[in-house]
Amino acid sequence: MQNGIRCMLMRGGTSKGAYFLADDLPSNPAERDDLLLRILGSPDSRQIDGIGGAHPLTSKVAIVSLSGSSNADIDFLFAQVSVDEPLVDTSPNCGNILAGVGPFAIERGLVQVTSDETRVRVKTLNTGTLAELIVATPNGHVEYAGETAIAGVPGTAAAIPINFLETAGSVCGSLFPTGQRMEMVEGSAITCIDNGMPVVLLAAVEFGFRGTESCKEIEAATEALKRIESIRLEAGRRMGLGDVSEAVLPKMCLISSPIDGGCLNTRSLIPKKCHSSIGVFGAVSVASACALPGTIAYPMAQCPDGRIKIMDIEHPTGKFEVRLEIGGTEQEPTVASGGLIRTARALFDGTVFPRSKRPDTVVVA
Q: Give 21-42 pLDDT, tens digit per residue.
A: 999 999 999 999 999 999 999 9
CATH number of the domain at 5-159+344-352, please? 3.10.310.10
pLDDT (mean) for 301-325: 93
Residue 361 has pLDDT above 70, yes or no: no
305, exposed or middle or buried, with CB in 10 Å at 0-12, 13-18, 19+?
exposed
Amino acid at 173: G
Give the chain's length: 365
Nearest to 160 by CA among 196, 212, 198, 122: 122
pLDDT (mean) for 7-19: 97
Does residue 333 have a cis bond before it (omega within 30 degrees)? no
Where in the chain are the domains?
5-159+344-352, 183-327
CATH superfamily of 183-327: Diaminopimelate Epimerase; Chain A, domain 1 (3.10.310.10)
- Span of 59-63, 299-303, 360-364 with lowest mean pLDDT: 360-364
Residue 331 has pLDDT above 90, yes or no: no
Residue 2 has pLDDT above 60, yes or no: yes
63, exposed or middle or buried, with CB in 10 Å at 0-12, 13-18, 19+?
buried
333/142 Cα distance (integer angstroms): 39
Please give the pLDDT value at position 1: 46
> 3-state SS of the chain?
CCCCEEEEEEEECCEEEEEEEHHHCCCCHHHHHHHHHHHHCCCCCCCCCCCCCCCHHHCEEEEEEECCCCCCCEEEEEEEECCCCCCEECCCCCHHHHHCHHHHHHHCCCCCCCCCEEEEEEEECCCCEEEEEEEECHHHCCCCCCCECCCCCCCCECCEEEEEECCECCCCCCCCCCCCCCEEECCEEEEEEEECCEEEEEEHHHHCCCCCCCHHHHHHCHHHHHHHHHHHHHHHHHCCCCCCCCCCCCEEEEEECCCCCCCEEEEEECCCCECCCCCHHHHHHHHHHHHCCCCCCCCCCCCCCCCEEEEEEEECCEEEEEEEEEEECCCCEEEEEEEEEECEEEEEEEEECCCCCCCCCCCCC
Confidence of residue 211 (pLDDT cuts 50, 70, 90): very high
Please give the pLDDT value at position 358: 60
pLDDT (mean) for 174-191: 97
**Residue 45 near residue 3, CB atoms below 8 Å:** no
Burial letters 8-38, b for 16+ CB under 10 A, else e: bbbbbbbbbbbbbbbeebeeeeeebbbbbbb
Confidence of residue 99 (pLDDT cuts 50, 70, 90): very high
Please give the pLDDT value at position 270: 83
Does residue 92 have a cis bond before it (omega within 30 degrees)? no
**Residue 162 near residue 281, CB atoms below 8 Å:** no
Confidence of residue 170 (pLDDT cuts 50, 70, 90): confident
7/344 Cα distance (integer angstroms): 16
CA-atom Rg of the chain in angstroms: 20
pLDDT (mean) for 171-184: 96
Do 5-159+344-352 and 183-327 have matching folds? Answer: yes
Please give the pLDDT value at position 365: 44
Amino acid at 151: A
Give the whole-number percent of the chain exceeding pLDDT 90: 83
Please give the pLDDT value at position 279: 87
Q: Give 243-276 pLDDT, tens digit per residue.
A: 999 898 999 999 999 999 999 999 999 887 899 9
**Residue 77 near residue 26, CB atoms below 8 Å:** no
**Residue 302 near residue 258, CB atoms below 8 Å:** yes
Angle at 63 between CA 318 and CA 350, to 5 degrees: 90
**Residue 87 near residue 245, CB atoms below 8 Å:** no
Nearest to 269 by CA among 311, 207, 221, 218: 218
Q: What are phi and psi of 291, to 5 degrees?
A: -90, -10
